[in-house]
Amino acid sequence: VNNGKKDMQIYDEQSTVLIVGGGLVGLSQALFLQYQGIPFVLVERHAETSILPRARGLHFRSMEFYREIGLEQEILAAGAESIKQQSGKPGGLRIGETLVTAQAQQIGFNLHNLMGMKELTPTSFCFCPQDILEPILLAALRQRGGDVRFSTELTGFEQDENGVVATIVEVGNVTTRHLRTDYLIAADGAHSPIRDALGITTSGKGTLEHYLNIYFLADLSELVQGRTFSQCQVENTHVRGTFAALNNTDRWIFHLSYNPEAGEKPEDFPPERCLELLRQAIGVSDIAIEIKSIGPWEAAVRVADRYQQGRILLVGDAAHLMPPWGGFGGNTGIADAHNLAWKLAAVIRGQATPALLSTYEMERRPVACVAGEQAALGTDVYTRYRIATATNAKDLEQQIDPLLVTLGYHYHSTAVIENGLVASAPTDPFTLTGEPGTRAPHSWFKRQGETVSTLDLVGTNFVLLAGEKGEAWCEAARMIAAGSGINLVAYRVGPTGDLQDLENEDTENHDHDALLVRPDGFVAWQSSQDTPATQETLSEVLKHILAWYPQIPLQGTSEKPA
Ligand SMILES: Cc1cc2nc3c(=O)[nH]c(=O)nc-3n(C[C@H](O)[C@H](O)[C@H](O)COP(=O)(O)OP(=O)(O)OC[C@H]3O[C@@H](n4cnc5c(N)ncnc54)[C@H](O)[C@@H]3O)c2cc1C
């Protein structure tokens, strides 16, 4: 990608947002923007979505986003279909010299707990490999009228203070087009040519291990009968690597470890050699195997030092690369896209100033750093699954914690008004209380006869939740919404309110309180005992969140945005 100079006046077409990259995160970004009603063009250089089933598990936070845009049931059904043929429960870890001899391990941290956390989320963890998920996202985008252009590549761009001119070309065609866009989102993957062209550096532990991802078909159903697994780690004198089960019958991945320090290169592993190594890893010499693809990848931690340069924003692997252990990479990228979508929409609609966009990096970069550290911890299979051995007790003290990356983080930014107490320790997701900066706790409510989660109340709007005696707050919110056009919906919570909390009957202590939740489900602000329930209070709060500067310092805080 060439970041050269070009006459900014000359262009063939215009868009509000250009998304470069139609992988997992680019497609999700497009869907989230579409849901916000923001026009976009998405370009992807490949003709089709990737056939590589890289990410396999969607953490429940990702499923919350897909629930919001109406794709939860379809994704759950596709995930269920993909594992229907399995003989036995998916999940579990095996370790041994070969797949045939590998023994089941007692996993210390039960990942299934993460999958069935009914009290934390209205949805659930979903097993749905990336090669099954991406076509669903793409089909939904097209069905909903999205301008999605596959076989189209970005070859250059230039930005000024008013926009970006992107040079795009249909693959195989020589005629380039210049597209002028207000914002450009780089979802162009781990090697992000856009990030490089902008000169944005990365930090982190760097490369930890080298692998070849071998995606293959082989009927191993009899071999794994009664001993299904999620991952199986094998090591013998010929081969070292990890089997990842896609359906525990005929679709598999083997991550073959190779060592560049010993002079090994990906080219040293042609399909014939991979076949031989696969048979040595399985432990059966004459098994029929069809290799679908072989691709090198690095287990590495690299987080971009900046997520934004002018009107260009990085998301997904372009912003952060991390090893797949714990399944954080794709899930963190999807959450980036969700965080960015409502902010960009608010700025484009003129409801926020562009300064709101700087909170994207403030909020998401620290999460990527923690996710990267956690994923790096998982490099050792014993630490990854908290499996105690005679010598690793110390390592286990620093165990990987998927819940920390899923929900246990706390945003500190100008798009949050903190209560004065800045949490230094990770948030305990089990005790979410509505502290500003945390994801609003999920609770089931009755609303005019239907059952909805706290998270079903947001999406394209802010929501103000007031106590049962908080009519003044609701009235203030309605006045602001009507006068400003800001999407703000207000509810009184309580037995006689607009929402009846089906789980916490004791809401009396919060009768006069108010809580403002952002469109992404994160708590923006909480009233204190003596906060006046007026339109002025609420409008100052919103001005602060939406970055309308200069602004009056808020009660109880001297904080001013930078
Ligand atoms: C072996 C492996 C296992 C993994 N397992 C997990 C897991 O279990 N859980 C998890 O959450 N994550 C996992 N990941 C990570 C996950 O796959 C990535 O985080 C995810 O694919 C990132 O999505 P992305 O859209 O940011 O990037 P990509 O999927 O890399 O997509 C980027 C796209 O941009 C396109 N592109 C690049 N440049 C241009 C251009 N100039 N013009 C047009 N198009 C362009 C590319 O063709 C590509 O399609 C795994 C990764 C690997 C390698």
Q: Which atom of ligand 1 is nearest to the CA of 255?
A: 1
Task: Say yes or no: CB of residue 55 within 6 Å of ligand 1.
Answer: yes
Euclidean distance between CA atoms 545 and 526, whole angstroms: 13
Q: Ligand 1 mean position to 206 CA, how many Å?
A: 18
Q: How would you classify the pairing of strands 176-186 and 163-170?
A: antiparallel
- Find out whether 295 and 212 touch, Cβ atoms under 8 Å: yes
CA dihedral (24, 133, 27, 313) in degrees, to 10, reads: -30
pLDDT above 50 (res 562) = no
Task: Say yes or no: CB of residue 27 within 6 Å of ligand 1.
Answer: no
- Indicate the top mutation candidate among 111, 130, 169, 184 to test ligand 1's pocket, ranked by most ligand atoms within 8 A of CB: 130
Task: Say yes or no: CB of residue 297 within 6 Å of ligand 1.
Answer: yes
Euclidean distance between CA atoms 212 and 348, whole angstroms: 42
Q: What is the pLDDT of residues 157-173, one digit of tens each?
A: 999 999 999 999 999 99
* Secondary structure of residue 481 in the 3-state scheme: helix
- Angstrom CA distances, 192 to 154, 199, 233, stand at 12, 11, 31
Q: Which atom of ligand 1 is nearest to the CA of 27?
A: 25
Please tell me the predicted confidence (pLDDT) of residue 551: 47
Q: How would you classify the pairing of strands 147-149 and 40-43?
A: parallel
Q: Ligand 1 mean position to 460 CA, how many Å?
A: 27
- Indicate the top mutation candidate among 18, 41, 45 to test ligand 1's pocket, ranked by most ligand atoms within 8 A of CB: 45
Nearest protein Cα to ligand 1, atom 9:
327
Nearest protein Cα to ligand 1, atom 1:
54
Give 515 or 509, the one with higher predicted confidence. 515
Average of pLDDT values for 63-79?
A: 97
- Of 115-119, 399-403, 406-410, 549-553, the least confident: 549-553
Please tell me the predicted confidence (pLDDT) of residue 554: 39
Q: Which atom of ligand 1 is nearest to the CA of 62?
A: 11
pLDDT above 50 (res 401) = yes
Q: Which atom of ligand 1 is nearest to the CA of 21?
A: 34
395 confidence band (pLDDT: 50, 70, 90): confident
- Of 70-84, 254-268, 312-326, 371-385, the least confident: 371-385
Euclidean distance between CA atoms 413 and 408, whole angstroms: 16
pLDDT above 60 (res 288) = yes
Q: What is the pLDDT of residues 437-460, one digit of tens each?
A: 999 999 999 999 999 999 999 999
Q: Ligand 1 mean position to 283 CA, how many Å?
A: 31
Euclidean distance between CA atoms 498 and 509, whole angstroms: 18
Euclidean distance between CA atoms 522 and 519, whole angstroms: 7
Q: What is the pLDDT of residues 326-348, one digit of tens each?
A: 889 999 999 999 999 999 999 99
Nearest protein Cα to ligand 1, atom 3:
54
Please tell me the predicted confidence (pLDDT) of residue 107: 76
Q: What is the mean pLDDT of the chain?
A: 90
Task: Say yes or no: CB of residue 332 within 6 Å of ligand 1.
Answer: no
